[in-house]
Amino acid sequence: MTHRRATTATKATLLLSAALVVPLAACSSGKTATAGSSGSGKGSIQGAKVAFLMPDEASTRYEQHDAPGFKSALAKLCSSCTVLYNNATGDASKQQQQFNAAISQGVKAIVLDPVDSTAATSLVARAQARGIKVVAYDRPIPDAKVDYYVSFDNEEIGKSIAQSLVKHLKDTSVPTTKGILEVNGSPTDAAAGLIKKGVHEGLAGSGYTTLAEYDTPDWEPTKAQQWVAGQVSRFGDKIGGIVAANDGTGGGSIAALKAANVKPVPPVTGNDATTAGLQLIIAGDQYNTISKPSEIVAGAAAQVVVDLVQGKSVEAVGGGKLTTVFNAPTMLFVPKVITKDNLKSEIIDTNIAKASDLCTGAYAAGCKTLGIS
């Protein structure tokens, strides 16, 4: 499910608090959500070791935002706690080793963003049998009743980027004789499945036919590029737009279109508001992305860990909504669609990203056109 972030947690919180909370499909909501029962009982968080296990390096977000955000938030809540951070670099077996190592090091909680959501089920059971709290992060683990799940609303992400694209196609009078390519995320990522479901909802009834769709292994941009290149040869100018599940697959799609000398480049979606994705929007090559500052969910996950270990009821923080997803108590945050029309106000003016980082080289002219300086 791959972010430029606010320079302070306060600014990011204000950004999300102002968002409209939308109804969540297949979820129930309430003021609080009850923590899982494994290893229940009040305990002390002081001096605890907490594992923070991320899935890959295909997106820069984990190293640059999620991990630093979690460490910073937990340090404020528990100065004596230690974070054991590891990245599985897209290898499910490696993540299993990291998970087992965390257990052997005596952690009280594990925050897990799984490489493979199905394979992670046995890991959750192993930890919970030892009284260790497990928080699913960003990507759900459907077949395990984790103690908590913290994420942006992935289904709403897919629906929002698809609806935004459809509106743009209609506003620019793209005929319904053209169709849409759908570039989904990894087939082993349950969050990608939720995004895909949302995309289908967003495209339903639009009048535009889905020409073909593809589940991108490991979210790899090069694999998305290769697939789109084949579809360009297959469908040619019948392609009216591409719904890509994140900025990486969106960037790969754009690279394929340009390599095939498709002009004009049909609108392409994204997700994560990465520097590369935002720059493609500035250049006019990518139509939209999703702003979801990782520090927000990282901070919420830190608070959830502290509450679970101490045996407290989890309260919503940072504008999150308490609900239930895959039978697990959940805190979800509302995504924000970004296009060139609101990039300055939602990204630059809120300090999620700096103009100096985006408006480099060939992107300087586009920034000037959008009033970004």
Residues 6+ positions from 35 with CB-CB distance below 8 Å: 133, 147, 148, 307, 308, 313, 314, 329
Per-residue burial over 194-205, b if 16 or more Cβ lie within 10 Å, else e, is: bbbbbbbbbbee
| Alpha carbon distances (Å) from 262 to 71, 223, 234, 351 | 45, 19, 13, 35
CATH number of 154-291+337-369: 3.40.50.2300
Angstrom distance (rounded) from CA 373 to CA 103: 48
User: What pLDDT is recorded for position 43?
Assistant: 77
* Tokens found for residue 196: 């895909």
User: What pLDDT is recorded for position 251?
Assistant: 98
Angstrom distance (rounded) from CA 250 to CA 286: 7
DSSP 268: B
Residues 6+ positions from 368 with CB-CB distance below 8 Å: 359
Q: What is the dihedral of CA 132, 133, 138, 143, to 10 degrees?
A: 80
Low-confidence ranges of the chain (pLDDT < 70): 1-42
- Domain definitions of the chain by residue range: 9-153+293-335, 154-291+337-369
Residues 6+ positions from 124 with CB-CB distance below 8 Å: 112, 134, 136, 141, 144, 145, 146
Cα three-residue angle 187-1-239, rounded to 5 degrees: 70
Fold type of domain 9-153+293-335: Rossmann fold (3.40.50)
Burial class (CB in 10 A: 0-12, 13-18, 19+), 238: middle
Angstrom distance (rounded) from CA 161 to CA 353: 20
Burial class (CB in 10 A: 0-12, 13-18, 19+), 287: buried
* Tokens found for residue 123: 């890991």
Cis peptide before 142 (omega within 30 of 0): no
| Alpha carbon distances (Å) from 196 to 30, 101, 242, 246, 345 | 26, 33, 13, 11, 28
Q: What are phi and psi of 342, to 5 degrees?
A: -125, 10
Evaluate whether 9-153+293-335 and 154-291+337-369 have a shared fold: yes
Per-residue burial over 155-179, b if 16 or more Cβ lie within 10 Å, else e, is: bbbbbbbbbbbbebbeeeebeeebb
User: What pLDDT is recorded for position 42?
Assistant: 62
| Alpha carbon distances (Å) from 13 to 31, 58, 319, 320 | 18, 26, 7, 9
User: What pLDDT is recorded for position 59?
Assistant: 75
Angstrom distance (rounded) from CA 362 to CA 370: 14
pLDDT tens digits for range 208-245: 999 999 999 999 999 999 999 999 999 999 999 999 99
- Percent of the chain as helix, strand, coil, to the nearest 5: 40, 20, 40
